[in-house]
Amino acid sequence: MTPLAPASVHLATPGGYLLVLAVTLPVLGVLAMLVVAPRHARQVALVTMAAGLVTAIAIVAELIRTGTALTYVVGGWQPPLGIALRADGLSATMIAMTAMVITATGLFARGLYALGPKAQDGRAPTTFWGLLLATWSALNAVFVGEDLFNLYVALELLTFAAVPLVCLDGRAETVAAALRYLMFALLGSLLYLLGTGLLYGSYGTLDIQMLSRLSEGGPALSVALALMIVGLLAKAALFPLHLWLPPAHAGAPAAASAVLSALVIKAPVFLILRLVLDIAPPHAAILAGQILAVLGASSILFCSVMALRQARLKLMIAYSTVAQIGYLFIVFPLAAGNEAQAPWETIAWTGGALQLVSHAFAKAAMFLAAGVIAEAFGHDRIADLGGFGRVLPISAAAFGLAGLSLMGIPPSGGFIAKCLLLTAAVLNGHPWLAATILAGGLLAAGYVFRVVDRALATPAIALVAQKPIPRRLELVALALALAAMLLGFVPLEPFGFLQLGRSGAMAGVAP
Amino acid sequence: MSLASLGTATLFGLCGAALAGIGLFIVIAHAGLLRRIVGFNILGAGIFLVFGAAARRGAAAGFSGDPVPQAMVITGIVVAFSATALAVALLQRLFDLTGRESLDAPAASDKQQAEP
Amino acid sequence: MTMLLDLALVAWLLALAIHVARARDDQGAIIAFIAFGLLLGLGWTRLSAIDVAMTEAAIGGGVTGMLLLRAEARLRQRSSQPQTPKRTTKAAAAIACTVVAAGLALAVLSFPSPAPTLAPAAAAALDSTGLGNPVTAVLLAYRALDTLLEKVVLLLALLGVWSLAPDQLWGGAPELRQTVAPPPFVYLGRILPPFGVLIAVYMCWVGADAPGGTFQAGTVLAAMWLLIMLASLRPAPETRRTTLRLLLVGGPVLFFAVGFLGFAVADGFLSYPEGAAKPIIVGIEAALTVSIALTLGLLVAGPSSRAPAP
């Protein structure tokens, strides 16, 4: 009856239940929070974070131990009727990164909300904890999802968790920023859903593994992929669809900005990677890769210049996010692979993944440091921050170290990432991309040094903090910046963990 | 019968395509946010009809349609409603704070100071 | 003959959508949209998707319409109309949207024949669930994870809406009625709810085997509750109340609990023990119906607009 009748390709692995825990545990925390007294929300969040962190570590350990991807078939219903969850090396890396950044942000927020004069069980703190955990579940669901409709629900969960985070402080500009963000995100989700509908109508399955085996081109496939990728680009804020991001990420409370910039926009990027690499037929993947690379390069150049011109620290960091996301899109032509090498065996694949992770740590560190600065001085106008390094040496150090990673200066994860991408660009004969990577690094140096220069300046009137900042808050940002640096000790070669669970999956369509 | 049902499915699928186009137009070309929210709902309705066409075409095994896309549409309608509710609440808050119901006023955020 | 009916329906739908695009005032556009939602419900019956038709008419036409009309009434006092975009912008948007619609139409026309379908697979698996309605089986068994996450989406949207209350009103009650309710409304508010509750219970109960189910029942209940609140027969509850919150999370918590129980007594997360699937699913649906009704009602009611009682 079914013309395609694909055989199921998912075999559950013993550690697969860990993926269910990764998706459900944070959400269970949210449900608990809705019921307990508001003053306990923080404790629930911290307990959930500990559990989630353990789960993430267990997933990575299980992947290393078995040397293959983890798979779980929910309810025992095999795809295409049911839904499978799967974590390969890249997914597990994303899960571990998410767990670390969320936990660090949680520790930071706990300290920051303790500073406030208002009751800690007020509107903003209570809501923050729920939204933070929901974001975590949604991210994990995106990273392990195998079914395109399940991924749609996960993306919407992410939207509904992220948008209210933007306007937690309730000012009119942030409400406007949140609304603009919601408009872009909804348009993105709907275009994605539209593509999903076309794929179902054409192939009768939404399982990525199955689609990767049976996709032969056709107008429906091209239209569907184009719609889905454009939708996801709106969510990922790639130039020229980035207009919503700077006000939203700069207006959110610092802890929320860190999560939004470091993690939330990585989810659509990750999905675009999966669509292009796993579902698109080879010739379409090459074309899509080239278009994405042009947009990525424009993002790097345009938004780095915009970052240079910002007067406010948080807006500068937000523009830097759009620029750094651009690097993830120039990976596509560089990691296109060839007869001898599959995409995930190239140095560009490792470089892209490293850029993704090191940007997450560095950007979270920067936003948290900026949050400390804004909290201490009551503003974040770069020009008026002269000498802030004397008052807040740890935050200045965190900002500077994170900046090294964004610029691509050793030793830092950003350096290895950009070095690998640059090498790949030169070797594969993409001189324009190589030039863009170098120019992006120089521009990043420009905007980071503007702030570092202020930190080290000696103003006529010494800057004083309006309120004491506990050391603990500053140390969280420093720890994240150090994590971004430690990634600089990853060897300069294709990294084995990122290839786990990849090669077998794609045997059917590997060129 | 099968020919007639195929016709119905394709007809509503094409209707869905047109509705998606109209909805998209409202979202892009209207400045008023309330109208845009209605536009999102029309775009959504068009998308669901494309799923509906796929479902109707997949009638088999004694069912008058493939239940999987039908269930997806039900989930999608509920998610779309949640989105509408959140958007309306944000819009009302924006209106209470500023008296505006559009985003086209110049963003003042660059000049404002950051508040913690 | 039926083809003519379908063509007329499609023409109506398109005309209403275009009216929404062209109407001068928002109120006219929203009323056209409500009519659109109800007609679309009819369209879904023509696609033999009765479950979807009920959901679309109840949520797409009914509750969404109520939400939009309330918003419009509130925004009507606005000082300035938003400026209309330039003609060139509109023309460019129209061309882009036509291209998208044409691409979609092409894709729909190129759907393969015979159509790929999961209906046989869904039918084959239906026996092991004991259910008679395949849509319910997809929602609560085969793809229960989607449904579970979507329940969380609803609650999260509610949390987001609540978070928009001003600080001093946090935890208070939303205000539904604008002025004194007109007498016919109060009359309806007294008469309709008992019938609505009966219909909802029936829909939820038959949903296992016939069209209907937890969403449809939940929406009917939500509509009845909103009617009571709008007629000022009962005030909206304070959002901080523990009983309210327990009822809100009750359905999803039960769903999660059953899901995890699957690890112990069945084949893992969200799988049901052999033979007991149907009663468990009906139980989950009953709990979900209450949670959905409350969530939908509170989403329409909006953030709290009165300070909580001390």
CA distance A334 to A421: 8
Q: Is residue A483 less than 8 Å (CB to CB) from chain B?
A: no
Identify the pLDDT of residue A373.
92
Q: Flag whether A108 is in a domain.
A: no
Confidence of residue A1 (pLDDT cuts 50, 70, 90): very low
Q: Which residue of B has its CA nearest to C1?
A: B4
Query: Mean pLDDT, to the nearest integer, of B48-57?
Result: 94
Q: What is the pLDDT of residue A507?
A: 38
Mutate which of C87, C117, C216 to test chain B, going by most B C-beta atoms within 10 A? C117
C136: Cα within 13 Å, side-chain hemisphere:
29
Q: What is the pLDDT of residues A132-173, one digit of tens each?
A: 999 999 999 999 999 999 999 999 999 999 999 999 988 889
Cβ pairs A/B, distance under 8 A: 121
The pLDDT value recorded for residue A510 is 33
Cβ–Cβ contacts within 10 Å for residue C297, how many?
A: 25
Instruction: Assign A118 a pLDDT band (cuts: 50, 70, 90).
Output: low
Q: What is the pLDDT of residues C108-154, one digit of tens each?
A: 998 888 888 899 899 888 888 888 889 998 999 999 999 999 999 99
Residue B59 lies in a domain: yes
Find the range with the poorest average confidence among B6-15, C79-88, C164-173, C183-192: C79-88
Radius of gyration of chain A (CA): 22
Interchain pair B24, C47: CB under 8 A = no
Q: What integer pLDDT is reported at residue B114 of this predicted model?
A: 38
Indicate the SS3 state at residue C108: helix
Residue in A34, A150, A227 nearest the CB of C245:
A34
Chain B window 8-67: which residues touch C at a Cβ cutoff of 8 Å? Answer: 8-26, 28-35, 37-39, 41-42, 45, 48-50, 52-67
Q: Which of C46, C63, C123 is nearest residue B61 as measured by Cβ atoms?
A: C123
Asked whether residue A2 carries a pLDDT value surpassing 50, the answer given is: no
Q: Which residue in the block uniquely carries the two structure tokens 């920051």?
A: A112
Which two three-digit tokens encode residue C155? 């609650």
Best of A1, A10, A149, A153 to substitute, by most chain C Cβ atoms within 10 angstroms, is A153
Cross-strand pairs, A71 = A86
Domain assignment present for A396: yes
CA distance A335 to A278: 13
Q: What is the pLDDT of residue C187?
A: 77
Cα(A473)–Cα(A402) distance, rounded to whole angstroms? 16
Sign of the dihedral defined by the CA atoms of residues B36, B42, B47, B48, in that order:
positive
Pairwise pLDDT comparison (A220 vs C297), residue with the higher score: C297
Across the interface, whether the CB atoms of A80 and C118 are under 8 A apart is answered yes
Which pLDDT score is estimated for A11? Answer: 84
Q: What is the mean pLDDT of chain A?
A: 89
CA distance B34 to chain A (A): 11
Judge whether B94 is closer than 8 Å to chain C, CB to CB: no
More confident residue, A510 or C180: C180
Please name the residues in contact with A188: beta carbons below 8 A apart, sequence gap of 6 or more.
A155, A231, A232, A233, A234, A235, A268
Q: Which among B79, B109, B116 is the nearest to A153, CB-wise?
A: B79
Q: Which 73-102 residues of chain C touch chain A by CB within 8 A? A: 100
C81 by DSSP, 3-state: which? coil
| C25–chain A Cβ distance below 8 A for any pair | no
Identity of the residue in B17, B42, B84 whose CB atom sits nearest the CB atom of C108: B17
Under the banding of pLDDT at 50, 70 and 90, the label for residue C181 is: low
pLDDT band for position A281 (50/70/90)?
confident
Q: Which of B10, B32, B63 lies nearest to residue C119, judging by beta carbons? A: B63
Name the domain count of chain B: 1
CATH number of the domain residue B24 falls in: 1.10.287.3510
Q: What pLDDT score was predicted for residue B72? A: 95
Does residue B53 register a pLDDT over 90? yes
Beta-carbon separation of A172 and B97 below 8 A: yes
Domain assignment of residue A393, yes or no:
yes
> C178 pLDDT exceeds 70?
no
Tell me the nearest-neighbour CA distance from A157 into chain C, angstroms.
5
Contact A35 C242 (CB under 8 A): yes
3-state helix, strand, coil split of chain C in percent (to 5) is 70, 0, 30
Other Cβ atoms less than 10 A from the Cβ of A457: the count is: 14
- Residue B2 within a domain: no
Helix (H, G, I), strand (E, B), or coil: what is residue A312? strand
Q: What total of structural domains would you count in chain A?
A: 1
pLDDT in tens, A441-495: 999 999 999 999 888 888 777 778 888 888 888 999 999 999 999 988 877 666 7
Q: Can you give the pLDDT at residue C177? A: 64
Report pLDDT for A509. Answer: 35
Q: What is the DSSP string of C46-80?
A: HTT-HHHHHHIIIIIIIIHHHHHHHHHHHHTT-SS
pLDDT at A246: 93
Under an 8 A CB cutoff, do A167 and C164 touch? yes
- What would the 3-class secondary structure string for chain B be? CHHHHHHHHHHHHHHHHHHHHHHHHHHHHCCCHHHHHHHHHHHHHHHHHHHHHHHHHCCCCCCCCCHHHHHHHHHHHHHHHHHHHHHHHHHHHHHHHHCCCCCCCCCCCCCCCCCC
- Please check the confidence at residue A511 and state whether its pLDDT lies above 50: no
pLDDT (0 to 100) of residue A120: 61
Greater confidence, C189 or A120?
Answer: C189
C85 C-beta neighbours (distance < 10 Å), count: 15
Contact A2 C242 (CB under 8 A): no
Nearest CA in chain B to C174: B89
Mean pLDDT over the full length of chain B: 84
∠ CA C126-C132-C135 to the nearest 5 degrees? 75
In tens, the pLDDT along A168-196 reads 988 889 999 999 999 999 999 999 999 99
Task: Look at residue A425 and tell me if it is in a domain.
Answer: yes
Residue type present at position C308: P
DSSP string, A461-483: S----SS---HHHHHHHHHHHHH
pLDDT at B106: 44
Q: Are C54 and B77 in contact (CB under 8 A)?
A: no
Note whether C104 contacts B: Cβ–Cβ < 8 A: yes
Q: Do C167 and A160 touch (CB under 8 A)?
A: no
A4/C304: higher pLDDT: C304
Nearest chain A Cα to B43, which residue? A190
Please name the member of B53, B60, B84 whose beta carbon is closest to the beta carbon of C120: B60
* A–C CB contacts, 8 A cutoff, strictly below: 177
Contacts of A171 (CB under 8 A, 6+ apart): A251, B97, B115
Interface partners of chain B (CB pairs < 8 Å, 3 or more) are: A, C
B interface with A, Cβ–Cβ below 8 Å: 13, 20, 27, 33, 36, 40, 43-44, 47, 50-51, 53-54, 57-58, 60-61, 66, 68-69, 72, 75-76, 79, 82-83, 86-87, 90-91, 93-94, 97-98, 103, 107-110, 112-116
From B9's Cα to the closest Cα of chain C, the distance in A is 7
Q: Which structural domain, as residue segments, surrounds residue A325?
A: 281-511
> Three-class SS of residue A87?
strand
Partner-chain contact B71 C119, CB within 8 Å: no
Q: Which of residues 65-94 of C touch B (CB under 8 A)?
A: 67-68, 71-72, 74-75, 78-85, 89-90, 93-94
Residue A84, helix vs strand vs coil: strand
Span A322-338, mean pLDDT? 87
- Would you say residue B112 lies in a domain? no
Q: Which domain holds residue B31?
A: 9-98
- Compare CB distances from C256 to A4, A24, A134 and report the shortest one's residue: A24
Q: Cβ contacts (< 8 Å) between C143 and chain A: which residues?
A: 77, 81-83, 149-150
Residues A168, A128: contact at Cβ < 8 Å?
yes
What is the C-alpha separation between A415 and B86, in angstroms, rounded? 41
Residue at B107 is within a domain: no
Chains touching chain C through at least 3 C-beta pairs below 8 angstroms are A, B
Contact A121, A279 (CB under 8 A): no
pLDDT score for A286: 87
C117 near B CB under 8 A: yes
Chain B residues close to A160, C-beta within 8 Å: 82-83, 86
Pick A218's closest partner by Cβ from C110, C156, C256.
C110
CA A501 – CA A257 distance, rounded (Å): 33
